[in-house]
Amino acid sequence: MKIDLLNNIKIGVIGLMIFFSCSTIKNVELGKMGKVLHEKKLLDSIKSKEVNPNWIRIRGNSLISINDDESQEVEIYIRSKIDSIIWINITKYKKKVFRTLFTKDSVKMTIEYPEKLFFDGPISTLNDLTNLSFSYGLIEELITGGSFLKYIDEKFILHFEKNEYHLLSHRPRKTKRITSSKYKKPVNYIYQSWINPFTFKCNRVKLIFPENNSQINVVYKNREEINGYSSPMDIEIELSNSETKYNITIDFRSIKYDLSQKFPFNKINNDYKLLNFNE
């Protein structure tokens, strides 16, 4: 009987150790402890921390490179009326280089240097021409430091590893089958994100679009509280398809929320030629 009692105590102690190791999170830097949340509560917590202003105005610096070309440093200005319009202006040495205007379904863009070029049409056409997967929602999530979860329909696989929540739409083995074209059913996207377990803000996002073999990787860094919103001050973006890789880093110098904005755009006249993405 004593042996049985000792065995029961050992089993109980081991069980408690396993329980606490699996259900608690320790933030060594801040000395905090927290519980690992189940999927629904985690998603509710992430949603409650989303940035939801009506207007955004951003000013910053950016490094942009294509494939192995040397990075180009530019100034970037972003204005947005949430869920409606996004305006992006890029300059170099105060000289206007590029300007674009995104709405829910369409995009207008002009290139001013080294020659005047334009595109004006549906976002779907832009995707076909570039072999990438842009959307209004994707860009809006980028500039607000979002997790993209509001646009994901799949059920999630949830892991907790390396002191982050890791959310996946597909298991690694299935992802490999899809990206190697061994999976017969059509898949619109493969989603992964990494979430801070204390702030419930997104640290990283990866989206793969099997249809055109493109993907986007996003890393958010150095969040600051601005007007009650946790805003990333540095963003690293990698956009790629089977032929081209774009690396973009943005260092935000100023972010302002809920100030109404104007969205100036030059009239596209005969000085501009249609942008040919195949050249």
Over residues 34-46, the mean pLDDT reads 84
3-state secondary structure of 63: strand
Q: Whole-angstrom Cα distance, residue 148 to residue 142?
A: 8
Asked whether residue 199 carries a pLDDT value surpassing 80, the answer given is yes
Taking the chain, what is the end-to-end CA distance rounded to the nearest angstrom?
84
The pLDDT assigned to 40 comes to 87
> Percentage of the chain with pLDDT > 70?
87
The pLDDT assigned to 220 comes to 98
- Tell me the per-residue pLDDT of 70-129, one tens digit each, with 9 for 90 and over: 999 999 999 999 999 999 999 998 899 999 999 999 999 999 988 999 999 999 999 999
Please say whether the beta carbons of 117 and 100 come within 8 A.
Answer: no
Query: DSSP letter string over 192-245?
Result: EEEE-TTT--EEEEEEEETTTTEEEEEEEEEEEEETTEEEEEEEEEEEE-SS-E
Identify the residue with better confidence: 230 or 267: 230
Please say whether the beta carbons of 208 and 190 come within 8 A.
Answer: yes
pLDDT, mean over the chain = 86
> Percentage of the chain with pLDDT > 90?
64
Over residues 150-156, the mean pLDDT reads 84
Asked whether residue 63 carries a pLDDT value surpassing 50, the answer given is yes
- Tell me the per-residue pLDDT of 74-90, one tens digit each, with 9 for 90 and over: 999 999 999 999 999 99
- Tell me the per-residue pLDDT of 212-242, one tens digit each, with 9 for 90 and over: 999 999 999 999 999 989 999 999 999 999 8
Asked whether residue 24 carries a pLDDT value surpassing 80, the answer given is no
pTM, to two decimals: 0.85
Using only the alpha carbons of the chain, give its radius of gyration: 23
Over residues 40-52, the mean pLDDT reads 89
Query: 20 pLDDT band (50/70/90 cuts)?
Result: very low
Where is mean pLDDT largest: 78-92, 143-157, 264-278?
78-92
Query: 151 pLDDT band (50/70/90 cuts)?
Result: confident
